[in-house]
A = this chain, B = another copy of it.
């Protein structure tokens, strides 16, 4: 793994009872398309065991630039705006580099 690989952890919470609808919609509209974006090494959505309304997206990008370009991409903006309709809390994004 190159040293400039960017890790991203996004934590989000959705309205209780909307977990399955959110999951299905987010997988189709955001997760699957993002996997094909240039510079994307990994993009996985995970669901909390104890609190199923909490989701975590675990990402790896070739570098900061590819992640920034993704966030600014035209197709993503309306998708994120739509998915935010399920949110019960502001989402959190943490950017990381791997320790060696």
Residues of A within 8 A of B (CB): 6-7, 9, 23, 26-27, 31, 44-50, 54-56, 58, 94-100
Q: Who on chain B is nearest to A49 by CB?
A: B95
Q: State the copy count for this chain.
A: 2
Q: Which chain B residues border A99 with CB–CB below 8 Å?
A: 23, 26-27, 31, 45-47, 55
Check if A95 sits within 8 Å of B48, measured CB to CB. yes
| Complex-state Cα separation, A96 to B50, whole angstroms | 8
A30 to chain B, nearest CB (A): 11
Check if A96 sits within 8 Å of B46, measured CB to CB. yes
Contact A50:B98 (CB < 8 A) given known A9-B56, A58-B58: no
| Complex-state Cα separation, A26 to B98, whole angstroms | 13
